[in-house]
Structures are given as C-alpha cells and as structure tokens.
C-alpha cells in the first residue's frame, strides 16, 4: 500500500521532470518550421544570385536559429521577431523574391531587405505583425501589396525605381504608418493618396526632381516632418 505522502512525492518528482523537459525544449530556440523557413530563404538567395551572406545558416552544430546571424527572436516566445537581410545577395544580379517564403514568420516585427537588387515580389507579403519594412536601394518599380500589414509603422522605399502612382493608393490602408521614405526615386509628382495618411509623422521626398506646389496636407499630424531637399517644390 502506497502512503499518501509517498504518492505526492512521486507526483511532484514527475512534474519536476516535465518542467525540466519543457525548459530544455524552450532553450533550443526557434521552432522547426521557422528553422526550415530560414533555410528556404537561404536557398532562395543562393539560387537567385549565385551566392549570399547567409552561408553560416544551418552550418556547424548550432541548431538554435535564434543564435544565427541576422536573426533575432523574442525572448519569451522564441519566435523570430526580426530579420536583417540587408545586402544579403550579390547586388549585381536583379531578381524577384517569393513573398510566401516569409509565411513561417507570423510574429515578425522588423524586416530589412535593403540593397539586394530586388525588382519586386511574387505574391503578397502577409505579415500582420510587421512594424518596420526596409526595401531601400533596390530596383522596385511599384510598391508591393501591403494590405495585410496593418501594423506597419515605418516603410523605407528610398532609391528604387518608383515612377508612377498605381500602387500608392494601397498606402491609404496603412492606418498606423508614421514614417514613409520615398527619396531618390523617379516620381513626377507627389502621390495625392499620401495626404490621407492620418498617422504619418515624417515623409522623405528628397532627390526626386519634383516640381510645383506642395498640395494641402489633408488630415496629417500638426507635427508632420517633411524632407524635400533637392526638389523644386514649395509649400
């Protein structure tokens, strides 16, 4: 016959073992699907450009991809929260990136894809938690679809090949957008849809060769900051 005290001790022991296992599992860092997603991203960069700066991913004995270069995970959830893929490809080769490669990273808050010779995306970037997106110094001729990114606060499109306002209308859906960087493009005029962004606090338009009067700012914040040097516009 097992005494109640002994039975309780056995239960506590088993619970302790379970907690140790859970802690051990959590210490491994990012989940298998995110690890696989990172490897798929690495392959995409390698295949499209012939080489990439992601060669260390998956190498050696380090399985915790939260410790890989250019990857940052949330301390609590161990899910990937930031990806810095700036200048990760051979900038001499123009290419487009499959947007579905980012689907495993649904807790992603910051994504830097600057300086990668990107001409655009295949599909839609579906990242509802994303707050910062840097696509600067690429070869984009239009803004990618951003409808799924309602949390976006900062969008950098500096030094691309934007020369029309076809996709600028989609910006009006970004209710939380505070910073928009459009300097160094080929805009002939300031897209009127920008003035509907009620949360916008800073707009960069430098080096676009714009001419004429600056339109009324609509519902923009009184603290709105405009950077428009090396243009020919007046307020």
What domains can you pick out in the chain, each with its CATH number? Answer: 4-234 (3.80.10.10)
Average pLDDT over residues 110-118: 97
Tens digit of each residue's pLDDT (9 = 90 or more) over 95-109: 999 999 999 999 999
Q: How confident is the model at residue 189 (pLDDT cuts 50, 70, 90)?
A: confident
The candidate with the shortest Cα–Cα distance to 30, out of 72, 75, 78, 68, is: 78
Looking at residue 14, its pLDDT comes to 55
Average pLDDT over residues 138-152: 91
Beta-ladder partners of 211: 232
Q: Tell me how far apart the alpha carbons of residues 109 and 126 are, in angstroms, rounded to a whole number.
A: 12
What pTM was estimated for this model as a whole?
0.82
State whether residue 7 is helix, strand or coil. helix
Residue 28 CB partners (closer than 8 Å, separation 6+): 63, 64, 78
Tens digit of each residue's pLDDT (9 = 90 or more) over 12-71: 555 554 444 434 444 456 789 999 999 999 999 998 877 779 988 987 777 899 999 999
Alpha carbon of residue 91 to chain centroid? 19
Q: Tell me how far apart the alpha carbons of residues 202 and 184 are, in angstroms, rounded to a whole number.
A: 16
Residue 92 burial by CB count (10 A; 0-12/13-18/19+): exposed, middle or buried?
Answer: exposed
């Amino acid at each position: 016959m097992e005494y109640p005290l002994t039975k309780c001790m056995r239960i506590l022991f088993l619970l302790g073992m379970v907690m140790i296992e859970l802690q051990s599992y959590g210490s491994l860092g990012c989940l298998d699907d995110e690890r696989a997603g990172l490897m798929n991203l690495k392959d995409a960069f390698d295949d499209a450009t012939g080489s990439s700066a992601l060669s260390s991913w998956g190498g050696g004995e380090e399985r915790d991809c939260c410790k890989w270069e250019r990857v940052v995970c949330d301390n609590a959830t161990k899910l990937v929260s930031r990806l810095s893929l700036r200048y990760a490809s051979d900038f001499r080769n123009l290419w487009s990136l499959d947007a579905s490669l980012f689907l495993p990273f649904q807790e992603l808050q910051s994504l830097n894809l600057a300086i990668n010779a990107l001409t655009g995306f295949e599909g839609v970037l579906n990242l509802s938690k994303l707050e910062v997106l840097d696509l600067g110094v690429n070869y984009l001729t239009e803004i990618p679809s951003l409808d799924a990114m309602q949390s976006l606060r900062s969008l950098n499109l500096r030094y691309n090949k934007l020369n029309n306002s076809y996709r600028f209308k989609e910006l009006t859906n970004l209710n939380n957008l505070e910073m928009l960087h459009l300097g160094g493009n080929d805009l002939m005029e300031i897209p009127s849809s920008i003035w509907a962004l009620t949360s916008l606090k800073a707009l960069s338009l430098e080096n676009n060769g714009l001419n004429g009067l600056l339109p009324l700012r609509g519902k923009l914040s009184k603290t709105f900051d405009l950077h428009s040097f090396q243009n020919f516009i007046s307020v």
